[in-house]
Amino acid sequence: MRLTILGGGGFRVPLVYGALLTDHAEGRVTEVVLHDLDDRRLHAVTRVLAEQAAGVPDAPAVTATTDLDAALRGADFVFSAIRVGGLEGRADDERVALAEGVLGQETVGAGGIAYGLRTVPVAVDIARRVARLAPDAWVINFTNPAGLVTEAMSRHLGDRVIGICDSPVGLGRRIARVLGTRQEQAFVDYVGLNHLGWVRGLRVAGRDELPRLLGDPALLGSFEEGRLFGADWLRSLGAIPNEYLHYYYFNRETVRAYQEAGKTRGAFLRDQQARFYEEAADPAVSALRAWDRTRAEREATYMAENRESAGAGEREAEDLSGGYEKVALALMRAIARDERATLILNVRNRSTLSALDADAVVEVPCLVDASGAHPFAADPLPGHATGLVCAVKAVEREVLAAAASGSRASAVTAFALHPLVDSVTVARRLVERYTEVHPGLAYLA
């Protein structure tokens, strides 16, 4: 079984490889092909993986290439984990928006739109190549903004592309834990778009346990989202939102906190990871140790950032790294070995949410087997949530239109329609600023 990782020089690739190393069963991944545009990053990550594999007799063989077509040929699974414009691009996405007084964040609001405008044309090119060179491969997309990018790719790959994120599974795990059960025993009724979803129920043996949580202020105060949103607001909603909804429900506070922070998360990670790649280029240094130290530092600051800006508590250690690589592995196993699994994934809607059309990519629980991911039927969302989901989907559609046509007017419309951008004038200025700083947006005429 061959897995090709696009963005193979990325910082999180050792997490994926680490998960593969735990799989010894028949039908596991035996070959990993790393693809990246940057030789130096590939070299650094290849060194980390070699150290991880030491002493593991059935460790997947690793090769690296900068030739995309060569990387795709013969792949059974393709992970797309690219970052168009790198962390420098993310830092610019965040900085420009904050300077205009709106949320500057990796995937939500203006920053996410800029990131999407840069990424969609590249993702579409990849999807076309996969369709031509590896038509039977399954594409697992965790390139952000994951829902939008998955939808762009699905126009060329249909249901062979599946988007993943670690936030719903992390949320489900935390809720299950405070309710004294395990996520594996529960059905998490989570519905929405990527980074825009709500847990409306958690069923254990057919019984919904969520009302017990919503009715208990002590339980609500004992986990991250409970503290982040506050017991009163969660009771008003009657659901537990994905942590990314904090940017909607507490927008002013977050914008102000991020403006005051001085350095954005993207700028912090850019500097921190630049140090890692430099260290890992030195043959005298253990690349794995350098990577591990950098990862620990990143996680520690993630907690600190959340505590200060959002009032959230510390995350359990497993929530920080027990995330997306496990979803990816579970998804591959279910498909490759026809082992039925229930996973929350980004797939085409079909008729799951009646407010959206069949091709809109949504984030919902799916039954996965060798034939792919099939969304479970879901109860409709309440009006306020449907409103947000439809508004953000409309924004995503404008991004897709702008990427397909190169229309600057569509790009302005995308920003202007976003619920977290409060003025068309600001939207126009954002397009000006972003096209100035991002070479990847030169296509917008």
Show which residues are catalytic.
Answer: 166, 244
The residue whose Cβ lies closest to ligand G6P is 167
Q: Which of 167, 170, 208 is closest to 187 using CA atoms?
A: 208
Verify cis geometry, omega within 30 degrees of 0, for the bond prior to 145: yes
User: At closest approach, how far in Å is the CB of 235 from ligand G6P?
Assistant: 26
CA dihedral 326, 86, 84, 317 (to 10 degrees): 20
The residue among 229, 221, 183 whose CA lies nearest residue 202 is 183
**Part of the chain binding Mn ion (CB under 5 A), chosen from 66-74, 89-97, 163-171, 348-356:** 163-171
Q: Give the binding range for Mn ion (CB under 5 A) out of 81-89, 98-106, 158-166, 206-214.
A: 158-166
Residue 72 or 330 with smaller CB distance to ligand G6P: 330
Binding of Mn ion by 328 (CB under 5 A): no
Q: How far apart are CA 259 and CA 244, in angstroms?
A: 18
Does residue 20 contact residue 330 with C-beta atoms inside 8 Å?
Answer: no
What is the distance between the alpha carbons of residues 336 and 371, in angstroms, rounded to a whole number? 9
Question: 151 vs 166, which CB is nearer to ligand G6P?
Answer: 166
CB of 113 to Mn ion, least distance (A): 16
Q: Which of Mn ion, ligand G6P, none interacts with 420 (beta carbon under 5 to 8 A by kind)?
A: none
Which residues, in sequence order, are bridge partners of residue 189? 201
In the complex with Mn ion, the residue whose CB is nearer, 134 or 420, is: 420
Strand partners, 341: 368
* Residue 345 touches Mn ion, criterion: CB under 5 A: no
**Whole-number Å distance between alpha carbons of 433 and 275:** 28
CA pair distance 424, 250, nearest whole angstrom: 22
Which one of ligand G6P, Mn ion, none is in contact with 265 (Cβ closer than 5 to 8 A by kind)?
Answer: ligand G6P
Stretch that binds Mn ion, among 85-93, 159-167, 249-257, 421-429 (CB under 5 A): 159-167
Rank residues 60 and 365 by Cβ distance to ligand G6P and give the closer one.
365
Minimal distance, residue 427 CB to ligand G6P, in Å: 24
Instruction: Report the candidate in 198, 234, 240 with the shortest Cα–Cα distance to residue 344.
Output: 198
Q: Return the number of the residue (28 or 270) whose C-beta is nearest ligand G6P.
A: 270
- Total residues at the site for Mn ion (CB under 5 A)? 1
CB of 58 to ligand G6P, least distance (A): 29
Q: Which stretch binds Mn ion (CB under 5 A): 162-170, 291-299, 328-336, 385-393?
A: 162-170
302: partner contacted, choices ligand G6P, Mn ion, none (Cβ within 5-8 A by kind): ligand G6P
Q: Contact residues for ligand G6P (CB under 6 A)?
A: 106, 144, 165-167, 265, 269, 298, 302, 323
The alpha carbon of residue 155 and the mean position of all alpha carbons in its chain are separated, in whole angstroms, by: 19
**Minimum distance, C-beta of residue 145 to Mn ion, in the bound complex (Å):** 9
Tell me the closest approach of the beta carbon of residue 195 to Mn ion, in angstroms: 6
Among the listed ranges 14-22, 90-98, 161-169, 336-344, the one in contact with Mn ion (CB under 5 A) is 161-169
Return the H-helix or E-strand segment holding 403.
helix 383-405
- How many CA atoms lie within 13 Å of 97's alpha carbon, on the beta-carbon side? 32
Give the residue with the Cβ less far from ligand G6P, 60 or 145: 145
* CB-nearer residue toward ligand G6P: 148 or 431: 148
**How far apart are the C-alpha atoms of 329 and 335, rounded to whole Å?**
10
CB of 146 to Mn ion, least distance (A): 6
Tell me how crowded residue 208 is: count the other CB atoms within 10 A of its CB. 14
Say whether 305 sits in a helix, a strand or coil.
helix
269 neighbors 87 (Cβ within 8 angstroms): yes
Of positions 42, 44, 148, 165, contacts Mn ion by CB under 5 A: 165
β-sheet bridge partners, residue 345: 364
Residues that bind Mn ion (CB under 5 A): 165
